[in-house]
Each structure stands twice: as C-alpha cells, then as structure tokens.
Amino acid sequence: MTSQIPETRFLIIPMEYPILRIPDRLTVLEALQFKDIFHHLIAQTPTPEKVILDFNATQFMDSSGVGALVNNLKAARAENIELVLVNVHPPVMGVLSITGLDQLFTFQTPPLAPQENGFTATENHLLKTHPSIRSWLKRGLDLVGGIVGLLITGVIFVPIAIAIKLDSPGPIFFSQTRCGWLGKQFKILKFRSMCVDAEALRDKIPNQAQGAFFKNKNDPRITLGLFHLN
C-alpha cells in the first residue's frame, strides 16, 4: 500500500528513483513542507533505494533550508536510502561549502569542479552580500564608533560590576555561544543578569509565555544585572 503524498510546492516525478524538484527558494517558509514531503516520500511502499533532489530551479537557501536538508539526509540514511543532489547552482553550493555539508552529500552533474571528495567554492560562488559588508569605510566607522561608545559607557562598567558581585555570588560576566549567518558560531560576553544556577532552577519556576519561550514577570533568578537590559 502506498502512502498518500500531501499537496505541496515540491514536484515529485515518479521514476525508477523518484525525483523531488526543489522550488526556487528553500527558506524557513518551505523548510517544514520540505521535511514533510520527503518523509512521506521515503515512507512509500516499496521503499525507494535512491531519492534524487533536483535543485535546478533553486537559487537561494537559508539556514532553515540547510537544516531541513540535513534532517532529510539523516532520515534517508536511517532507511538505507541513497540521497543524491543534482543541478546544484553556485549560490546553493556556496551555502553547502561554507557549512561543510558538501562533504556529506552525493552530487550528480555538479556545476563546480570536484576537488578530492568534495567541492571548493570560490569567491564568485559564495552567497552575494550587500556591498556595504565589503566596504572598508563602513568597517572603519564601525570600529571608531564602537571604541567611542566603549569609552563613553566604560565609566559605568565598574559600578555595574561591583553591584552584580555584591548582589549575587559568582562571575560578573556571562558567556554564551550563539549562531550567526549560515550557522557560524560565535561567543558573546555580557554582564550576568541571573544567578549562577539559573538553569537548574528553571523547572521550579512557572512559565508565563507560550511555545518555546520562557518568561516569568517576577523571575526570582534575576539579579541587579538586569537593569542594563531595560
């Protein structure tokens, strides 16, 4: 018995190895549907030995699209299904190369010349950014503005640090790893606004927000460091 495929923007071409055509954009708006249609596709009876993803129409893919693609790769491997990408254009290949995913996928008729087991993206193949990103003038203004801002606000850093230390034992600063453009990780450093064991106490505090967000108006974990966020 064959599972029913839901209506979707992703065109499925029934062949010996089914071909799933990806639309012109693979972003957060299409990511959920991409995962859903792919999981329905590999649940077909009989199970396909190979699924081909045709990127011929795709010119843009963001981090949500990358996440959906990786999710589908894991699902295919779990079912011993070969996943092949075809007709991948330079903008999409640039995203895969930057994130290192070009080493994980199998490509057919790639637009870029292969190098060893993967692909090398040159500057012309990477995602295009706004010209201001490459402007030395803007970079200089950003640095000067940042330094001036630190000099102006630096005078209040010492009393803030003392207040946090007196109010709550532990480090003055809080460090955290976050994700930026295309999933690139970076560390932030800010004044600590909660007690040291804030995560351990989270389950004991009612969540007044909906979904994945956690918020409590009278959160007892908050320290004096919160005032610099207001």
Cα–Cα distance, 33 to 7 (Å, whole number): 10
Confidence of residue 224 (pLDDT cuts 50, 70, 90): low
The CATH architecture that domain 11-108 belongs to is 2-Layer Sandwich (3.30)
* Alpha helices by DSSP H, the chain: 28-42, 63-78, 90-98, 136-153, 157-167, 198-201
**What residues contact 225, with CB distance under 8 A and at least 6 apart?**
160, 163, 164, 167, 168, 191, 192, 193, 194
Percent of the chain scored above 70 by pLDDT? 71
Q: What is the pLDDT of residues 115-143, one digit of tens each?
A: 444 444 444 445 555 566 668 888 899 99
Closest alpha carbon to 47 in 22, 75, 69, 21: 75
**What residues contact 88, with CB distance under 8 A and at least 6 apart?**
55, 58, 96, 107, 110, 111
pLDDT at 86 over 90: yes
pLDDT at 110 over 50: no
Map out the domains of the chain as residue ranges. 11-108, 137-229
Predicted pLDDT at 115: 43
Predicted pLDDT at 177: 83
Confidence of residue 81 (pLDDT cuts 50, 70, 90): very high
Measure CA 28 to chain center: 10
Span of 102-111, 144-153, 201-210 with lowest mean pLDDT: 201-210
